[in-house]
Protein backbone atom coordinates (compact mmCIF):
# COMPACT_ATOMS: atom_id res chain seq x y z
CA UNK A 1 0.00 0.00 0.00
CA UNK A 2 1.34 3.40 -0.99
CA UNK A 3 1.65 6.31 1.50
CA UNK A 4 1.95 6.03 5.27
CA UNK A 5 5.45 4.66 5.80
CA UNK A 6 6.07 3.52 2.22
CA UNK A 7 9.05 4.12 -0.07
CA UNK A 8 8.44 5.90 -3.37
CA UNK A 9 10.82 4.26 -5.84
CA UNK A 10 8.85 3.96 -9.08
CA UNK A 11 5.86 5.74 -10.55
CA UNK A 12 4.35 2.30 -11.19
CA UNK A 13 3.42 2.22 -7.48
CA UNK A 14 0.65 4.74 -8.23
CA UNK A 15 -2.92 3.97 -9.24
CA UNK A 16 -5.54 6.58 -10.02
CA UNK A 17 -6.86 6.62 -6.46
CA UNK A 18 -3.40 7.41 -5.09
CA UNK A 19 -2.92 10.16 -7.70
CA UNK A 20 -6.30 11.72 -6.80
CA UNK A 21 -5.50 11.59 -3.09
CA UNK A 22 -2.07 13.16 -3.63
CA UNK A 23 -3.46 15.97 -5.79
CA UNK A 24 -6.25 16.69 -3.33
CA UNK A 25 -3.66 17.15 -0.55
CA UNK A 26 -1.39 19.15 -2.89
CA UNK A 27 -4.26 21.57 -3.59
CA UNK A 28 -4.61 22.16 0.16
CA UNK A 29 -0.89 23.07 0.41
CA UNK A 30 -1.34 26.27 -1.60
CA UNK A 31 -1.74 28.74 1.32
CA UNK A 32 1.42 27.35 2.92
CA UNK A 33 3.51 27.27 -0.24
CA UNK A 34 2.24 30.76 -1.14
CA UNK A 35 3.29 32.16 2.23
CA UNK A 36 -0.18 33.07 3.48
CA UNK A 37 -0.13 30.56 6.32
CA UNK A 38 2.56 28.69 8.26
CA UNK A 39 2.22 25.15 9.60
CA UNK A 40 4.48 23.38 12.10
CA UNK A 41 2.96 19.94 11.63
CA UNK A 42 6.38 18.31 11.06
CA UNK A 43 8.05 20.19 13.93
CA UNK A 44 11.00 18.01 15.07
CA UNK A 45 11.04 15.79 11.97
CA UNK A 46 14.21 15.45 9.87
CA UNK A 47 14.54 14.95 6.12
CA UNK A 48 17.80 13.34 5.01
CA UNK A 49 18.57 14.77 1.57
CA UNK A 50 21.24 12.93 -0.43
CA UNK A 51 21.92 14.16 -3.94
CA UNK A 52 24.80 12.47 -5.74
CA UNK A 53 24.08 14.19 -9.08
CA UNK A 54 23.62 17.87 -9.89
CA UNK A 55 20.21 19.18 -8.89
CA UNK A 56 18.68 22.59 -8.28
CA UNK A 57 14.89 22.30 -8.36
CA UNK A 58 14.44 18.78 -7.09
CA UNK A 59 16.84 19.12 -4.16
CA UNK A 60 15.75 22.60 -3.10
CA UNK A 61 12.03 21.95 -3.55
CA UNK A 62 12.22 18.73 -1.50
CA UNK A 63 13.99 20.75 1.22
CA UNK A 64 11.62 23.72 0.98
CA UNK A 65 8.60 21.43 1.06
CA UNK A 66 9.85 19.82 4.26
CA UNK A 67 10.70 23.19 5.82
CA UNK A 68 7.28 24.56 4.85
CA UNK A 69 5.71 21.74 6.88
CA UNK A 70 7.86 22.69 9.88
CA UNK A 71 10.56 20.00 9.55
CA UNK A 72 14.35 20.30 9.23
CA UNK A 73 16.68 19.15 6.48
CA UNK A 74 20.11 17.49 6.76
CA UNK A 75 21.78 17.51 3.41
CA UNK A 76 24.73 15.91 1.67
CA UNK A 77 25.66 16.44 -1.98
CA UNK A 78 28.27 14.63 -4.06
CA UNK A 79 30.04 11.33 -3.35
CA UNK A 80 33.27 13.01 -2.34
CA UNK A 81 31.70 14.39 0.86
CA UNK A 82 30.34 11.00 2.06
CA UNK A 83 31.81 7.70 3.22
CA UNK A 84 30.76 6.16 -0.12
CA UNK A 85 34.07 7.65 -1.32
CA UNK A 86 35.76 5.39 1.30
CA UNK A 87 34.08 2.28 -0.11
CA UNK A 88 30.97 2.15 2.07
CA UNK A 89 28.04 0.28 0.49
CA UNK A 90 24.68 1.88 -0.20
CA UNK A 91 23.17 -0.58 2.26
CA UNK A 92 25.42 0.51 5.15
CA UNK A 93 24.99 4.20 4.32
CA UNK A 94 21.23 3.72 4.35
CA UNK A 95 21.34 1.83 7.66
CA UNK A 96 23.28 4.68 9.25
CA UNK A 97 21.45 7.65 7.76
CA UNK A 98 18.04 6.22 8.48
CA UNK A 99 19.02 6.38 12.15
CA UNK A 100 19.28 10.15 11.78
CA UNK A 101 16.22 10.90 9.63
CA UNK A 102 12.45 10.37 9.47
CA UNK A 103 12.40 10.21 5.67
CA UNK A 104 15.13 10.32 2.99
CA UNK A 105 15.12 11.83 -0.51
CA UNK A 106 17.88 10.56 -2.77
CA UNK A 107 19.30 11.05 -6.27
CA UNK A 108 22.04 8.82 -7.67
CA UNK A 109 23.53 8.29 -11.16
CA UNK A 110 23.03 4.49 -11.23
CA UNK A 111 19.75 2.87 -12.27
CA UNK A 112 18.23 0.88 -9.41
CA UNK A 113 20.52 2.49 -6.81
CA UNK A 114 17.74 4.20 -4.86
CA UNK A 115 15.86 0.89 -4.57
CA UNK A 116 19.06 -0.77 -3.35
CA UNK A 117 19.52 2.01 -0.78
CA UNK A 118 15.90 1.61 0.35
CA UNK A 119 16.58 -2.02 1.25
CA UNK A 120 18.98 -0.85 3.93
CA UNK A 121 16.85 2.05 5.14
CA UNK A 122 14.70 1.93 8.25
CA UNK A 123 12.66 4.97 7.11
CA UNK A 124 10.80 5.78 3.85
CA UNK A 125 13.01 6.61 0.86
CA UNK A 126 11.88 8.79 -2.05
CA UNK A 127 13.54 8.45 -5.44
CA UNK A 128 14.73 11.86 -6.66
CA UNK A 129 16.09 10.32 -9.89
CA UNK A 130 18.14 7.13 -10.39
CA UNK A 131 20.25 7.47 -13.51
CA UNK A 132 18.27 7.26 -16.73
CA UNK A 133 15.63 5.08 -15.09
CA UNK A 134 12.93 7.01 -13.22
CA UNK A 135 12.04 10.31 -11.59
CA UNK A 136 8.65 9.63 -10.04
CA UNK A 137 8.12 12.89 -8.15
CA UNK A 138 8.83 14.87 -11.33
CA UNK A 139 6.16 12.85 -13.15
CA UNK A 140 3.70 13.62 -10.38
CA UNK A 141 4.35 17.36 -10.50
CA UNK A 142 4.22 17.23 -14.29
CA UNK A 143 0.84 15.52 -14.21
CA UNK A 144 -0.41 17.95 -11.56
CA UNK A 145 0.65 20.79 -13.87
CA UNK A 146 -0.94 19.20 -16.94
CA UNK A 147 -4.19 18.71 -15.03
CA UNK A 148 -4.32 22.32 -13.90
CA UNK A 149 -3.32 23.75 -17.31
CA UNK A 150 -5.96 21.59 -19.04
CA UNK A 151 -8.62 22.56 -16.50
CA UNK A 152 -7.97 26.23 -17.37
CA UNK A 153 -8.66 25.26 -21.00
CA UNK A 154 -11.79 23.19 -20.23
CA UNK A 155 -10.18 19.77 -20.81
CA UNK A 156 -9.45 16.66 -18.69
CA UNK A 157 -6.64 14.11 -18.46
CA UNK A 158 -8.55 11.37 -20.25
CA UNK A 159 -8.06 11.89 -24.01
CA UNK A 160 -5.00 14.05 -23.33
CA UNK A 161 -2.74 14.65 -26.34
CA UNK A 162 0.93 15.20 -25.53
CA UNK A 163 4.18 15.48 -27.48
CA UNK A 164 7.40 14.51 -25.71
CA UNK A 165 10.40 16.01 -27.48
CA UNK A 166 14.16 15.49 -27.25
CA UNK A 167 16.22 12.87 -25.47
CA UNK A 168 13.61 10.20 -24.82
CA UNK A 169 16.21 7.47 -24.41
CA UNK A 170 18.04 8.82 -21.37
CA UNK A 171 15.42 11.28 -20.07
CA UNK A 172 14.10 9.76 -16.84
CA UNK A 173 11.34 12.37 -16.56
CA UNK A 174 9.68 11.22 -19.78
CA UNK A 175 10.05 7.57 -18.74
CA UNK A 176 8.15 8.16 -15.50
CA UNK A 177 5.61 10.49 -17.11
CA UNK A 178 4.80 7.96 -19.87
CA UNK A 179 4.18 5.29 -17.24
CA UNK A 180 1.97 7.62 -15.22
CA UNK A 181 -0.13 8.60 -18.25
CA UNK A 182 -1.02 4.93 -18.74
CA UNK A 183 -3.46 5.35 -15.84
CA UNK A 184 -5.69 7.52 -18.03
CA UNK A 185 -7.93 6.65 -20.96
CA UNK A 186 -7.26 7.16 -24.64
CA UNK A 187 -4.09 9.20 -24.29
CA UNK A 188 -2.31 10.20 -27.50
CA UNK A 189 1.47 10.47 -27.23
CA UNK A 190 3.70 11.85 -29.98
CA UNK A 191 7.32 10.84 -29.33
CA UNK A 192 9.69 13.23 -31.11
CA UNK A 193 13.37 12.29 -30.95
CA UNK A 194 16.40 11.53 -33.10
CA UNK A 195 16.24 7.82 -34.10
CA UNK A 196 19.19 7.06 -31.78
CA UNK A 197 17.43 8.61 -28.77
CA UNK A 198 14.01 6.97 -29.01
CA UNK A 199 11.86 6.11 -26.02
CA UNK A 200 12.80 2.63 -24.66
CA UNK A 201 10.83 -0.10 -26.44
CA UNK A 202 9.17 -1.50 -23.33
CA UNK A 203 7.65 1.88 -22.47
CA UNK A 204 6.31 2.34 -26.01
CA UNK A 205 4.85 -1.16 -25.89
CA UNK A 206 3.24 -0.57 -22.49
CA UNK A 207 1.57 2.56 -23.88
CA UNK A 208 0.38 0.84 -27.06
CA UNK A 209 -0.90 -2.26 -25.27
CA UNK A 210 -2.86 -0.02 -22.88
CA UNK A 211 -4.87 1.21 -25.88
CA UNK A 212 -3.10 4.54 -26.16
CA UNK A 213 -2.15 6.06 -29.48
CA UNK A 214 1.61 6.37 -30.00
CA UNK A 215 3.36 8.12 -32.88
CA UNK A 216 7.16 8.04 -33.11
CA UNK A 217 8.72 10.65 -35.36
CA UNK A 218 11.90 12.66 -35.83
CA UNK A 219 9.98 15.66 -37.16
CA UNK A 220 9.29 18.41 -34.64
CA UNK A 221 6.70 20.02 -36.92
CA UNK A 222 4.71 16.78 -37.24
CA UNK A 223 4.95 15.94 -33.54
CA UNK A 224 3.77 19.26 -32.12
CA UNK A 225 0.95 19.91 -34.59
CA UNK A 226 -2.04 18.31 -32.89
CA UNK A 227 -1.42 18.18 -29.13
CA UNK A 228 -2.52 19.93 -25.94
CA UNK A 229 0.94 19.79 -24.35
CA UNK A 230 4.46 20.00 -25.77
CA UNK A 231 6.88 18.56 -23.20
CA UNK A 232 10.40 19.44 -24.24
CA UNK A 233 13.53 17.88 -22.71
CA UNK A 234 17.27 18.49 -22.55
CA UNK A 235 19.85 16.21 -24.18
CA UNK A 236 21.12 14.30 -21.13
CA UNK A 237 24.78 14.89 -21.88
CA UNK A 238 25.95 13.27 -18.63
CA UNK A 239 24.68 9.90 -19.91
CA UNK A 240 26.74 10.03 -23.14
CA UNK A 241 30.27 8.68 -23.55
CA UNK A 242 31.54 12.16 -24.45
CA UNK A 243 30.37 15.72 -24.78
CA UNK A 244 31.10 15.50 -28.51
CA UNK A 245 28.56 12.68 -28.82
CA UNK A 246 25.91 14.72 -27.01
CA UNK A 247 26.69 17.63 -29.34
CA UNK A 248 25.47 15.52 -32.26
CA UNK A 249 21.94 15.84 -30.90
CA UNK A 250 21.97 19.13 -29.03
CA UNK A 251 19.89 21.81 -30.73
CA UNK A 252 18.19 19.27 -33.04
CA UNK A 253 14.69 20.24 -31.87
CA UNK A 254 14.34 23.90 -31.01
CA UNK A 255 10.97 25.33 -30.17
CA UNK A 256 10.70 29.08 -30.56
CA UNK A 257 7.84 31.53 -31.03
CA UNK A 258 7.91 31.39 -34.85
CA UNK A 259 7.72 27.57 -34.93
CA UNK A 260 5.09 27.59 -32.20
CA UNK A 261 2.86 30.01 -34.11
CA UNK A 262 3.32 28.16 -37.40
CA UNK A 263 2.76 24.60 -36.17
CA UNK A 264 1.02 24.40 -32.77
CA UNK A 265 -2.70 24.68 -32.13
CA UNK A 266 -3.59 27.94 -30.33
CA UNK A 267 -3.03 27.67 -26.55
CA UNK A 268 -0.85 24.57 -26.71
CA UNK A 269 0.86 24.36 -23.31
CA UNK A 270 4.67 24.32 -23.28
CA UNK A 271 6.38 22.35 -20.52
CA UNK A 272 9.93 21.26 -19.65
CA UNK A 273 11.23 19.60 -16.47
CA UNK A 274 14.10 22.11 -16.53
CA UNK A 275 16.93 22.92 -16.64
CA UNK A 276 16.55 24.00 -20.28
CA UNK A 277 19.91 24.19 -21.97
CA UNK A 278 20.24 27.87 -22.86
CA UNK A 279 23.74 27.64 -24.29
CA UNK A 280 24.47 28.62 -27.85
CA UNK A 281 23.77 25.57 -30.02
CA UNK A 282 21.20 24.06 -27.68
CA UNK A 283 18.15 26.19 -26.79
CA UNK A 284 15.52 23.48 -26.95
CA UNK A 285 13.09 26.12 -25.61
CA UNK A 286 14.03 29.55 -26.88
CA UNK A 287 13.86 32.44 -24.43
CA UNK A 288 11.66 34.27 -26.97
CA UNK A 289 8.84 32.08 -25.60
CA UNK A 290 9.14 33.74 -22.18
CA UNK A 291 6.30 36.16 -22.90
CA UNK A 292 4.03 33.43 -24.25
CA UNK A 293 1.32 32.85 -21.60
CA UNK A 294 1.21 29.16 -22.57
CA UNK A 295 4.77 28.68 -21.35
CA UNK A 296 4.07 26.76 -18.13
CA UNK A 297 7.65 25.89 -17.11
CA UNK A 298 7.78 28.10 -14.02
CA UNK A 299 4.25 27.19 -12.91
CA UNK A 300 5.50 23.61 -13.30
CA UNK A 301 8.57 24.17 -11.06
CA UNK A 302 6.41 26.01 -8.48
CA UNK A 303 4.07 23.00 -8.41
CA UNK A 304 7.01 20.81 -7.34
CA UNK A 305 6.74 22.28 -3.86
CA UNK A 306 2.99 21.57 -3.55
CA UNK A 307 3.34 17.98 -4.75
CA UNK A 308 6.39 17.22 -2.58
CA UNK A 309 4.68 18.75 0.48
CA UNK A 310 1.69 16.49 -0.18
CA UNK A 311 3.94 13.44 -0.52
CA UNK A 312 5.66 14.12 2.79
CA UNK A 313 2.31 14.76 4.48
CA UNK A 314 0.93 11.44 3.21
CA UNK A 315 4.05 9.34 3.78
CA UNK A 316 4.43 10.70 7.33
CA UNK A 317 0.65 10.55 7.83
CA UNK A 318 -0.05 14.14 8.88
CA UNK A 319 -2.27 15.24 5.97
CA UNK A 320 -5.30 15.70 8.23
CA UNK A 321 -3.38 17.54 10.96
CA UNK A 322 -1.81 20.31 8.92
CA UNK A 323 -4.39 23.00 9.60
CA UNK A 324 -4.39 22.21 13.36
CA UNK A 325 -0.79 23.40 13.56
CA UNK A 326 -1.13 26.52 11.46
CA UNK A 327 -1.33 30.28 11.75
CA UNK A 328 -1.16 33.29 9.44
CA UNK A 329 2.33 34.43 8.44
CA UNK A 330 3.52 37.41 10.45
CA UNK A 331 5.96 38.91 7.97
CA UNK A 332 5.54 40.92 4.80
CA UNK A 333 4.85 38.63 1.85
CA UNK A 334 4.05 39.86 -1.56
CA UNK A 335 4.85 37.33 -4.18
CA UNK A 336 2.91 36.81 -7.35
CA UNK A 337 2.04 33.23 -8.33
Residues 178-207 that bind ligand NCD (CB under 6 A): none
Is the CB of 193 or the CB of 236 nearer to ligand NCD?
A: 236
Q: Which of 7, 135, 169, 252 binds ligand NCD (CB under 6 A)?
A: 135
| CA 75 – CA 100 distance, rounded (Å) | 11
CB contact at 8 A, 179 and 189: no
Q: List the one residue out of 176, 169, 172 whose CA is nearest residue 245.
A: 169
Distance of closest approach, residue 243 Cβ to ligand NCD, in angstroms: 15
Q: Provide the minimum distance between the beta carbon of 144 and ligand NCD in the complex, in angstroms, as a whole number.
A: 14
> CB of residue 173 vs ligand NCD: minimum separation in angstroms?
5
Q: Residue count at the site for ligand NCD (CB under 6 A)? A: 11
Crossing angle (nearest 10°) for helices 113-120 and 90-97: 50
Q: In 3D, which of 259, 176, 273 has the Cα closest to residue 224?
A: 259
Element (H, E) at 176: helix 172-181
Residue whose C-alpha is closest to residue 39's, from 319, 317, 333: 319
Cα–chain center distance at 32: 20
Q: What residues numbered 197-256 form the site for ligand NCD, per CB under 6 A?
A: 234, 236
Nearer CB in complex with ligand NCD: 309/319: 309
User: Of 135 and 263, which has the nearer Cβ to ligand NCD?
Assistant: 135
Q: Does 101 bind ligand NCD (CB under 6 A)?
A: no
With binding defined as CB under 6 A, does residue 57 bind ligand NCD? yes
Closer CB to ligand NCD, 48 or 273, in the complex: 273
Residue closest to 19 by CA, chosen among 203, 165, 174, 176: 176
DSSP-assigned beta bridge partners for residue 38: 327
Least Å distance, CB 234 to ligand NCD, is 4
Q: Which residues contact 324 (CB under 8 A, 6 or more apart)?
A: 41
Q: Could you say which of 108, 172, 250, 252 contacts ligand NCD (CB under 6 A)?
A: 172
Closest CA to 68 of 28, 104, 32: 32
Shortest distance, CB of residue 297 to ligand NCD, whole angstroms? Answer: 10
- Selected binder of ligand NCD within 10, 58, 127, 178 (CB under 6 A): 58
CB of 280 to ligand NCD, least distance (A): 18
Pick 114 or 274: Cβ nearer ligand NCD: 274
Residue 273 sits in the site that holds ligand NCD (CB under 6 A):
yes
Task: Determine, following the binding rule CB under 6 A, whether residue 138 of this chain makes contact with ligand NCD.
Answer: yes
| Structural contact between residues 189 and 215, judged by C-beta atoms closer than 8 angstroms | yes
Count the residues in the chain. 337
Nearer to ligand NCD, 250 or 263 (CB): 250
Q: d(Cα 63, Cα 109) in Å, to the nearest integer?
A: 20
Closer by beta carbon to ligand NCD, 190 or else 236: 236
Nearest residue (CB) to ligand NCD, 138 versus 148: 138
Whether 132 contacts 200, CB under 8 Å: no
Which is nearest to 105 in space by CA: 131, 132, 73, 134? 73
Residues at the interface with ligand NCD (CB under 6 A) = 57-58, 129, 135, 138, 172-173, 234, 236, 273-274
Amino acid sequence: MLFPGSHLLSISQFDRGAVDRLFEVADRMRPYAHRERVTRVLDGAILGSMFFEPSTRTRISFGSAFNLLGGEVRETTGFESTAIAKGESLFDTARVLSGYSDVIAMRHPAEGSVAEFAQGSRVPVINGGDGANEHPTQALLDLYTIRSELADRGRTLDTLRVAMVGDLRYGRTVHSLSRLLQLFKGVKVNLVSPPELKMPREIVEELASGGHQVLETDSLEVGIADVDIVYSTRIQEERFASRAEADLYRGRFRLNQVIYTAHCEPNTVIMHPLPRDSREGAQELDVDLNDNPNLAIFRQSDNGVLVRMALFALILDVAEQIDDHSRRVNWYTERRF
